[in-house]
Amino acid sequence: MTTDPAGPRRFLRHVLLCGAGVVMMYPLLWMISSSVKPSARVFTDESLWPATWDLGNYARGWSSLAEPFSLYLVNSAVIVTLSIAGNLLSCSLAAYAFARLRFRGRQVFFALMLGTMMLPGHVLVVPQYVLFDRLGWLNTYYPLLVPHFLATNGFYIFLMVQFMRSLPDELDDAARIDGCGPFRTFWKIIMPLCLPAFATTAIFTFIAVWNEFFAPLLYLTDPQLYTVPLALRQFMDSEGQSQWGEMFAMSFVSLAPVIGFFIAGQKYLVKGIATTGLR
Amino acid sequence: MTALRARRQDNAGYLFLLPWFGGILFTVGPFLASLYLAFTDYDLLTPPRWAGLANFRAMLDDGRLHQSLQVTFTYTLVSVPLSLAVALGVAMLLDRGVRGLAIYRSIYYLPSLLGGSVAIVMLWRYIFGYQGIVNDFLAWFGIQGPGWNSDPRFALSTLILLHVWTFGAPMVIFLAGLRQIPAMYYEAAAMDGASPWRQFRSITLPLLSPIIFFNLVQSLIASFQTFTQGYVISNGTGGPAESTLFYNLYLYQKGFAEFDMGYASSMAWLLLIIIAGFTAINFLAARYWVFYDN
């Protein structure tokens, strides 16, 4: 009969961690619970388990804004998909050059790339708006998409550079001896090995672009083009009508893809964030 | 032969970087343009007119600007250290082989992916509203809380709490860093009779300091540019009584509601200088507290 002296302390730690977990999750659970309560009871029925259910919130919320919610979801999905494609393509090309090719100016460009990672984006907003206005790109998706095809996010380049540097140099040598030029080597040898880094980039891009609010707010004024965050904001303009149930229902719809991606891609997220953080 | 190969590698390198060069034009061009616009009077319709230092002089008397600086500084200087401290604390609780680590980590990490979304900021409005769950909770103790978001004294605090709620991202980085500290350091220290606090001060903090530094720099830069939280919680006004008027929200109002783009550009540069200043101080101070192993 021996008792583990660390036992009580370990138990206490779990109590602490569980308590913190409940506090962290409570807002989300409350939102989900409110999304299936009748609007009038959202603030009177305090329990997480609804006393009365109203699943109609989802149907009514879907059609209560200027356009059906499916349109906003499709808009966001199109932008997210193209942004992911753009980031993967442009950042992997740049990363390959930085990680595995020798050329004049490489170190200068690499330093410049690291510098842009630290540059606060707000300084660019006004001139970029003027530029996109002159190009006739207001109320189009170009301002949201084109930057992704031009490798403007240094974090993803950096992540891929780190990953590519960890691959053995012999891969390139062997490919060269077999007569592969840099493009074939990149496409056939390096790309397939970088899938984990690509997965991380794709998930981060998904979450960042799906949640993005500022750029769509700036460039999209036509409700037909609205993304999900812009659409959700409309609920606040019609607040007087107290359609809380519907608002929380659509809020949950807007978060569900992020939560889904998080569950599916957790491994890559955690690994990716640890690499970019650690250098 | 080797010269030819070197040139070919040069060309290949530039080709691979082609999109990135385009992106640099997209960055450097606007960067310089905004510096120029900061010294002009510009409304988007008529060409910019040179105004010298007029924009910067106007800032001295702009009460809303001063308020927005105060809001942004308060928010940043409270929420960044607070959330990093929480992140480090929880990471240390999770570090030493806790059962269920993966589940705890997921639960704490998920909010950091959602915190910047419109849905969550809207949710925050209602959680901290007069009838929200925070007041329901306080009612158990017989306390009648105010409408936290509609009271200028508390509105910003709710957003600080939202920031702390997203401590999961730095926590994951801290966890990865803690795992790299060899366990034998702690064993040796324990054998020499070092208390847990002493171990934290003499082993954990110095070995983790480069990661703390990295997180600090990144969070400060991001936090100074907060926009969505202020915009959504106040429906674009920065209210109540300008208590959530973040700097970038005011910049947005100036540039894109009033179309005073010269002034907005000079504001952008003022914030850039502030951020650069803070980052420089960080790097200078790092000499005294950040410990690099190699």
Task: Indicate which of A126, A152, A155, A161 best probes the interface with B, i.e. most B CBs within 10 Å of its own CB.
Answer: A126
- Tell me the shortest Cα–Cα distance from A75 to chain B, in angstroms: 16
Is A207 in Cβ contact with B113 (below 8 Å)?
yes
Report the pLDDT averaged over residues A123-142. Answer: 96
Cα three-residue angle A64-A69-A72, rounded to 5 degrees = 135
Cα–Cα nearest to A69, from A242, A240, A249 = A249
Other Cβ atoms less than 10 A from the Cβ of A144: the count is 23
Question: Six-digit token pair at B144?
Answer: 């009648």
What's the rounded Cα separation, in Å, for the pair B290 and B215?
12
CB B72 within 8 A of CB B80: no
Is B133 in Cβ contact with A25 (below 8 Å)?
no
On chain A, the residues whose CB falls within 8 A of the CB of B169 are 273
What's the rounded Cα separation, in Å, for the pair B64 and B96?
49
What one-character-per-residue DSSP string does chain B give? -HHHHHHHHHHHHHHHTHHHHHHHHHHHHHHHHHHHHTTEE--SSSPPEE-TTHHHHHHHT-HHHHHHHHHHHHHHHHHHHHHHHHHHHHHHHHHTT-TTHHHHHHHHHHHHHHTTSHHHHHHHHHHTSTTSHHHHHHHTTT-----TTTSTTTHHHHHHHHHHHTTHHHHHHHHHHHHTS-HHHHHHHHHTT--HHHHIIIIIHHHHHHHHHHHHHHHHHHHHT--HHHHHHTTTS--STTTT--HHHHHHIIIIIS--HHHHHHHHHHHHHHHHHHHHHHHHHHHHH-----
What's the rounded Cα separation, in Å, for the pair A90 and B159?
36
Question: Six-digit token pair at B259?
Answer: 């179309």
On chain A, the residues whose CB falls within 8 A of the CB of B113 are 207, 258, 262, 269
- Tell me the shortest Cα–Cα distance from B176 to chain A, in angstroms: 6
Answer whether residue A279 shows pLDDT above 60.
Answer: no
What's the rounded Cα separation, in Å, for the pair A196 and A270?
12
Q: What is the pLDDT of residues B26-43, one digit of tens each?
A: 999 999 999 999 999 999
On chain B, the residues whose CB falls within 8 A of the CB of A30 are 123, 127, 133
Pairing of strands B40-41, B49-50: antiparallel
- pLDDT on residue A90: 97
Answer whether residue B180 shows pLDDT above 80.
Answer: yes
Other Cβ atoms less than 10 A from the Cβ of A91: the count is 31
What backbone torsions phi and psi does residue B234 show, to the nearest 5 degrees?
-110, 10
Is A120 in Cβ contact with B224 (below 8 Å)?
yes
Nearest residue on chain B to A153, judged by CA atoms?
Answer: B23
What's the rounded Cα separation, in Å, for the pair A85 and A62?
29
Average pLDDT of chain A to the nearest whole number: 89
On chain B, the residues whose CB falls within 8 A of the CB of A109 are 17, 20
Of B16, B123, B136, the CB nearest to A27: B123
Grade residue B100 by pLDDT with cuts at 50, 70 and 90.
Answer: confident
Task: Indicate which of A125, A237, A242 best probes the interface with B, i.e. most B CBs within 10 Å of its own CB.
Answer: A125
Q: In one letter, which amino acid is A2?
A: T
Residue ranges of the alpha helices (H) in A119-213? 125-134, 142-149, 154-165, 170-177, 182-184, 191-193, 195-211
Is A152 in Cβ contact with B26 (below 8 Å)?
yes
What's the rounded Cα separation, in Å, for the pair B27 and B24?
5
- pLDDT on residue B1: 46
On chain B, the residues whose CB falls within 8 A of the CB of A244 are 126
Q: What is the pLDDT of residues B250-288, one digit of tens each?
A: 999 999 999 999 999 999 999 999 999 999 999 999 999
Is B232 in Cβ contact with A236 (below 8 Å)?
yes
On chain B, the residues whose CB falls within 8 A of the CB of A182 are 9, 12, 16
- Tell me the shortest Cα–Cα distance from B56 to chain A, in angstroms: 16
Q: What is the pTM of this model?
A: 0.92
What's the rounded Cα separation, in Å, for the pair B114 and B166?
8
Query: Domains of chain A, with CATH numbers?
Result: 7-60 (no CATH), 66-237 (1.10.3720.10)
What's the rounded Cα separation, in Å, for the pair A92 and B235?
39
Nearest residue on chain B to A106, judged by CA atoms?
Answer: B13
Of B114, B129, B214, the CB nearest to A258: B114
- Tell me the shortest Cα–Cα distance from A229 to chain B, in angstroms: 6
On chain B, the residues whose CB falls within 8 A of the CB of A69 are none
On chain A, the residues whose CB falls within 8 A of the CB of B16 are 93-94, 96-97, 101, 182, 186
Answer whether residue B243 shows pLDDT above 90.
Answer: yes
- Tell me the shortest Cα–Cα distance from B61 to chain A, in angstroms: 22
On chain A, the residues whose CB falls within 8 A of the CB of B18 are 93
Grade residue B89 by pLDDT with cuts at 50, 70 and 90.
Answer: very high
- Tell me the shortest Cα–Cα distance from B153 to chain A, in angstroms: 22
Answer whether residue A201 shows pLDDT above 60.
Answer: yes
Cβ contacts from A onto B, under 8 A: 244
Task: Indicate which of A122, A251, A254 best probes the interface with B, i.e. most B CBs within 10 Å of its own CB.
Answer: A122
CB B265 within 8 A of CB B38: yes
Is B122 in Cβ contact with A247 (below 8 Å)?
yes
Helical packing angle, A244-278 and A154-165, nearest 10°: 40
On chain A, the residues whose CB falls within 8 A of the CB of B123 are 27, 30-31, 248, 251
Nearest residue on chain B to A272, judged by CA atoms?
Answer: B173
Grade residue A83 by pLDDT with cuts at 50, 70 and 90.
Answer: very high
- pLDDT on residue A2: 45
CB A93 within 8 A of CB B20: yes
Helix, strand, or coil (residue B40): strand
Grade residue B130 by pLDDT with cuts at 50, 70 and 90.
Answer: confident
Answer whether residue A197 shows pLDDT above 60.
Answer: yes
Report the pLDDT averaged over residues B159-181. Answer: 93
Report the pLDDT averaged over residues A71-85. Answer: 97
What's the rounded Cα separation, in Å, for the pair A218 and A140?
11
Report the pLDDT averaged over residues A169-189. Answer: 88
CA B84, B87, B92, B96 torsion-angle sign: negative
Q: What is the pLDDT of residues B2-29, one digit of tens each?
A: 666 667 677 889 999 999 999 999 999 9
Report the pLDDT averaged over residues A51-66. Answer: 90
Of A25, A109, A126, the CB nearest to B17: A109
Residue ranges of the alpha helices (H) in chain A? 7-34, 56-62, 69-100, 106-118, 125-134, 142-149, 154-165, 170-177, 182-184, 191-193, 195-211, 214-219, 228-237, 244-278
Is A259 in Cβ contact with B110 (below 8 Å)?
yes
Query: Domains of chain B, with CATH numbers?
Result: 63-289 (1.10.3720.10)
Grade residue A1 by pLDDT with cuts at 50, 70 and 90.
Answer: very low
